[in-house]
Amino acid sequence: MIRIEHLSKTYSGKTEVAALKDISLHVQPGDIYGIIGMSGAGKSTLLRCISLLDRPSSGSIYLDGKDMNTISGKELQQLRKQLGVIFQGYNLLMQKTIRKNIAFPLELSKTPKDEIKRRVDELLEIVGLSDKAEAYPSQLSGGQRQRVAIARALASNPKVLLCDEPTSALDPLTTRSILELLRDINQKLGVTIIVITHELGVVRTLCQKVAVIDSGLIVEQGLTREVMDEPKHEITKLLISTAGGR
Ligand code: ADP
């Protein structure tokens, strides 16, 4: 589904920052894959590269066998539609209703109006917000806003949902309900999910597979259960010990 080969990203400025160093990762269709690390480890940079918001300095990212960094134009646009992204701050349009927020990507791709109405109703139902269609983001709780962001990301029927710290601003109960929603989306809609997080609880609850990233390197990867039971790297041990029972 997504294959990352020898990906590196260096930011150049007054001083060079090697944010990602030789990352290789293979996400299979249907996976819920967690990428965990401390602050500054390179998680957001990796997500930005996968979601095509940033270009890697070297290496390749394949989506369904196609190298995303060598294609352009229409083909790239088509490939981009297969990726839905949810960001930490939700990025909702505050002046627009929930219905309009979710419809936005469909309007951009010139989807017919009746088709947009049908699809938005369906998405509102999936995320459990049918009664909030005409409300504005300011009238919703953090968890509800994240649900809107998830619905909007799913609007164009992506095969992969990329989630950047999807629960970092939420309380434990709301976190649980968002993780349940993501699991449902994975199981019922067959969407592959990649979650970037610094919270071990998110990985434990949601992800079958995990990669641990530290200083731009993947230091450990595998089945979550195996990595948690027998952590090999110091950073993994530290993440486990600081998370306690969570
Ligand atoms: P994380 O998401 O794990 O907290 P980031 O991917 O944001 O980590 O950052 C990884 C490293 O890259 C950090 O050292 C950060 O300072 C640096 N970095 C991130 N974005 C930029 C940028 N646009 N320009 C320069 N350095 C950056």
Q: How much is the pLDDT for 146? A: 95
- Which pair of tokens denotes residue 212? 């641990």
Contact 186, 30 (CB under 8 A): yes
Mutate to test the pocket of ligand 1, among 16, 45, 197, 239 (most ligand atoms within 8 A of CB): 45
Location of structure tokens 């990796």: 46
Decide if pLDDT at 245 tops 70.
Answer: no
Decide if pLDDT at 140 tops 70.
Answer: yes
- Which pair of tokens denotes residue 32? 């819920």
CA 42 to centroid of ligand 1, rounded, Å: 6
**Total residue length of the chain:** 246
Residue 218's nearest CA partner among 2, 20, 11 is 20
Contact 159, 194 (CB under 8 A): no
Average pLDDT over residues 11-35: 95
- First vs last Cα of the chain: how many Å apart? 30
Q: How much is the pLDDT for 114? A: 96
Side chain identity at 116, as an amino acid letter? I
Q: Whose CA is nearest to atom 22 of ligand 1?
A: 11
Decide if pLDDT at 126 tops 80.
Answer: yes
Q: Rounded to whole angstroms, how far apart are CA atoms 221 and 211?
A: 4
Average pLDDT over residues 120-138: 96
Q: What is the DSSP letter of 3?
A: E
Q: Rounded to whole angstroms, how far apart are CA atoms 30 and 11?
A: 32
CB of residue 39 inside a 6 A radius of ligand 1: yes
CA 115 to centroid of ligand 1, rounded, Å: 40
What pLDDT digit, counting tens, does each position of 93-111 carry?
999 999 999 999 999 989 9
Decide if pLDDT at 196 tops 60.
Answer: yes
Q: How much is the pLDDT for 90? A: 81
CB of residue 44 inside a 6 A radius of ligand 1: yes
CA 140 to centroid of ligand 1, rounded, Å: 31
The rounded percent of the chain whose pLDDT value lies above 70 is: 99
Q: How much is the pLDDT for 112? A: 95
Q: Is the dihedral of CA 81, 87, 90, 96 positive or negative?
A: negative
Location of structure tokens 């110091």: 234
The CATH code of domain 1-82+159-172+191-246 reads 3.40.50.300
Q: Name the more confident of 207 and 53.
A: 207
pLDDT-derived band at 244, boundaries 50, 70, 90: low
DSSP-derived 3-state class of residue 32:
strand
CB of residue 143 inside a 6 A radius of ligand 1: no
Domain range annotation of the chain: 1-82+159-172+191-246, 91-157
CB of residue 15 inside a 6 A radius of ligand 1: no
Location of structure tokens 């930005």: 48
Q: Rounded to whole angstroms, how far apart are CA atoms 14 and 225?
A: 42
pLDDT-derived band at 40, boundaries 50, 70, 90: very high
Q: How much is the pLDDT for 181? A: 97
Contact 7, 49 (CB under 8 A): yes
CA 84 to centroid of ligand 1, rounded, Å: 22
Q: Name the more confident of 68 and 224.
A: 224
Q: Whose CA is nearest to atom 11 of ligand 1?
A: 19
CB of residue 109 inside a 6 A radius of ligand 1: no
CA 165 to centroid of ligand 1, rounded, Å: 15
Average pLDDT over residues 206-211: 97
What pLDDT digit, counting tens, does each position of 48-93 carry?
999 888 889 999 999 988 888 888 888 888 888 899 999 888 889 9
Q: How much is the pLDDT for 208? A: 96
pLDDT-derived band at 227, boundaries 50, 70, 90: very high
What pLDDT digit, counting tens, does each position of 146-177 carry?
999 999 999 999 999 999 999 988 999 999 99
Residue 24's nearest CA partner among 52, 72, 69, 62 is 62
Contact 24, 221 (CB under 8 A): no
CB of residue 53 inside a 6 A radius of ligand 1: no
Contacts of 104 (CB under 8 A, 6+ apart): 93, 96, 152, 155
Report the chain's mean pLDDT, rounded to a whole number. Answer: 93
Q: Whose CA is nearest to atom 6 of ligand 1?
A: 42
Query: What is the radius of gyration, based on Cα positions, of the chain?
Result: 18
Contact 143, 176 (CB under 8 A): no
